[in-house]
């Protein structure tokens, strides 16, 4: 038995799963109130009702019900057992001295429900409820006991909390109390005034001034006055050339100068977001390398299936490696997990039968931010589809590798095959599951037999599901041409 938020509008019903919010994390709490979270971005696909809902749909005004029932295995049929709430409303939120007040409308005739301000650990977020004198995303099914509150938000209750955190940071920023990235602190001017240099002839319209500098020694240094008498004193030299560049840069900022030292052809590489990870992508294995040890072809797999590392039965003495080929006696039956971007998952025990010609492939990547969580291994069955890797695809992959940890701007010159004794590897270790195996070292090259991710829509290779990608356009295209470095000595 589970609860579903049933939302009806324009002649059809849409269902959303309701996840309970535990008392320890609730923003507001009352023993007579049950609180749930629903993700508005993840409706139950093709929902069908086998019991007619008690309310007819109104094409103009949406109707929302909390329904108790069972979903079938495909999450499509909702077998309605009972209606837990009447028509839902989006209440107005007010604050009294001792409680948060919810009202269905404004004014004295409104139905009210007051909830004690005995707040949980997330109580700071409750302050944001007080100012919401407009219909809220917070929904209430009844103004009598028991009541059901539903946070109906993209990514559910967690999404609401993250949005509140962003708003808090914005308030701190506007008040001057937040950290500001120094590299984005100084805005670019709208335009640069250019003219011939004034040289030393002087100009009554120009300003003359000076910049005063003060040295502050922040590390332990031996000053001449502290030098031991047994050794000859040494002078500390502070050459003017050491500060000239800094002063010049400061002056250019004050005077609105152009960007003098900049690579206009550079394409920035950024870390991917969770939205990038939702793009359709499959695993692939390198099947061909040319005489210069550049990969030229990859073989694609079907849609990957994610399996917990603890569900893999690995033969004694075998260590998993990214790119391991294997066979399976009984292919895993996988289901979509909507909480993980609708990826296919299987928790059934799976025996790995290593086979260099096997039609299944697995891939390992760095744990990264997943260190404290269970490690899931993507596996996939190989298909007959291949993709030719062009120099442009290789170049973009190599440039993304330049930003990887440990590469330090130096790419490999060789690409040992997966079967080679000097196959470049790094250990994958999970705080949760211990040693996982070996992954291919990121160095800008891939050899025959190496596994990799392929994003078809962007024709792009990547070493992990969430990796790094090029930004759109060159730096020179992202800024006004008037800010580009000077090229004409008569127009500086």
Tens-place pLDDT, residues 322-331: 999 999 888 8
Distance CA 378, CA 350 (A): 12
Query: 191 Cβ partners below 8 Å, 6+ apart?
Result: 480, 482, 483
Task: Find, among 379, 374, 384, the residue nearest to 344 by Cα.
Answer: 379
Average pLDDT for residues 155-175, to the nearest whole number? Answer: 77
Pairing mode, if any, of strands 305-308 and 434-440? unpaired
Mean pLDDT over residues 110-137, rounded? 69
Which pLDDT score is estimated for 228? 64
pLDDT, mean over the chain: 82
pLDDT average, residue stretch 152-167: 82
Per-residue pLDDT, averaged over 123-130, amounts to: 66
Dist CA 352 CA 324 (whole Å): 10
Ranges of each domain in the chain: 2-173, 271-470
Contact status, residue 152 vs residue 135, Cβ threshold 8 Å: no
Residue-by-residue DSSP string for 9-78:
ETTEEEEEE-EEPPGGG-SS--TTEEEEEEETT-PPTT-EESS--SS---SSS-EEEEEEEEE-TTS-EE
- Which range among 91-105, 201-215, 392-406 has the greatest average pLDDT? 392-406
Phi, psi for 372 (deg, rounded to 5) = -90, 0
- Averaged pLDDT, 290-299: 94
Q: Is 434 helix (H, G, I), strand (E, B) or coil?
A: strand
* pLDDT greater at residue 176 or residue 366: 366
- Asked whether the predicted pLDDT for residue 155 surpasses 80, the reply is yes
Over residues 159-168, mean pLDDT:
79
HEC assignment per residue over 268-335: CEEECCHHHHCCCCEEEEEEEECCCCCEEEEEEECCCEEEEHHHEECCCCCCCECCCEEECCCCCCCE
Backbone angles phi, psi at 336, to 5 degrees: -70, 140
pLDDT digits (tens, 9 = 90+) for 351-376: 988 999 999 999 999 887 565 688 99
Between the ranges 77-91, 220-234, 305-319, 361-375, where is the mean pLDDT highest?
A: 305-319
**Which position has the higher pLDDT, 320 or 405?**
320
Angle ∠(188,193,197) on CA atoms, nearest 5: 125
Distance CA 448, CA 285 (A): 8
Contact 93, 132 (CB under 8 A): yes
Give the Cα separation of 149 and 67 in Å (integer).
Answer: 14
Query: pLDDT by residue (tens digit) across 49-101?
Result: 877 766 677 666 667 888 888 888 777 788 877 776 666 677 888 777 777 88
Q: Comparing 115 with 378, which gets the higher pLDDT?
A: 378
Backbone φ and ψ of 172, nearest 5°: -60, -40
| Residue 392 scores a pLDDT above 90 | yes
């Amino acid at each position: 038995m589970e609860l579903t938020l049933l939302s009806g509008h324009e002649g059809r019903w849409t269902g959303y799963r309701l996840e309970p919010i535990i008392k320890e994390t609730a923003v507001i709490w009352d023993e007579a109130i049950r609180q749930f979270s629903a993700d508005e971005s993840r409706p139950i696909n093709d929902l069908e009702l086998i019991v007619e809902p008690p309310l007819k749909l109104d094409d103009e005004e949406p109707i929302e019900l909390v329904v108790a029932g069972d979903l079938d295995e495909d999450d499509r049929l909702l077998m309605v057992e009972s209606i837990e709430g009447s028509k839902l409303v989006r209440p107005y939120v007010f604050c009294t001295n001792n409680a948060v007040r919810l009202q269905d409308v404004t004014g004295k005739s409104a139905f009210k429900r007051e909830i004690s301000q005995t707040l949980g650990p997330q109580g700071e977020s409750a302050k944001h409820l007080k100012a919401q004198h407009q219909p809220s995303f917070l929904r209430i099914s009844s103004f009598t006991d028991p009541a059901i509150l539903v946070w109906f938000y993209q990514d559910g209750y967690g999404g609401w909390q993250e949005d509140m955190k962003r708003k808090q940071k914005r308030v701190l920023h506007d008040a001057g109390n937040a950290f500001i990235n120094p590299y984005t602190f100084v805005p670019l001017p709208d335009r640069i005034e250019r003219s011939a240099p004034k040289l030393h002839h002087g100009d009554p319209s120009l300003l003359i001034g000076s910049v005063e500098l003060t040295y502050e020694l922040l590390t332990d240094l031996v000053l001449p006055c502290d030098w031991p008498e047994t050794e000859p004193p040494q002078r500390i030299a502070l050459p003017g050339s050491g500060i000239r560049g800094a002063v010049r840069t400061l002056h250019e900022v004050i005077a609105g100068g152009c960007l003098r030292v900049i690579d206009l052809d550079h394409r920035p590489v950024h870390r991917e977001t969770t939205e990038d990870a939702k793009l359709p992508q499959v695993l692939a294995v390198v099947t061909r390398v040319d005489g210069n040890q550049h990969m030229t072809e990859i073989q694609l797999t079907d849609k990957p299936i994610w399996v917990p590392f603890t569900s893999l039965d690995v033969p004694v003495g075998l260590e998993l490696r990214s790119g391991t080929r294997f066979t399976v006696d009984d292919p895993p039956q996988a289901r979509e997990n909507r909480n993980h971007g609708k990826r296919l998952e299987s928790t059934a025990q799976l025996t790995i039968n290593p086979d260099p010609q096997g039609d299944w492939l697995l891939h390992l990547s760095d744990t990264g931010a997943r260190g404290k969580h269970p490690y899931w291994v993507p596996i996939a069955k190989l298909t007959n589809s291949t993709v030719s890797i062009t120099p442009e695809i290789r170049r973009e992959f190599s440039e993304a590798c330049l930003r990887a940890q440990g590469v330090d701007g130096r790419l490999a010159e060789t690409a040992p095959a997966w079967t080679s004794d000097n196959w470049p590897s790094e250990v994958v270790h999970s705080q949760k599951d211990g040693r996982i195996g070996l992954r291919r070292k990121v160095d800008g090259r891939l050899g025959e037999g190496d596994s990799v991710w392929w994003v078809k829509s962007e024709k792009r290779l990547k070493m992990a599901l969430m990796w790094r990608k090029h930004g759109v356009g060159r730096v020179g295209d992202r800024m006004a041409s008037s800010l580009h470095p000077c090229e004409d000595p008569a127009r500086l």
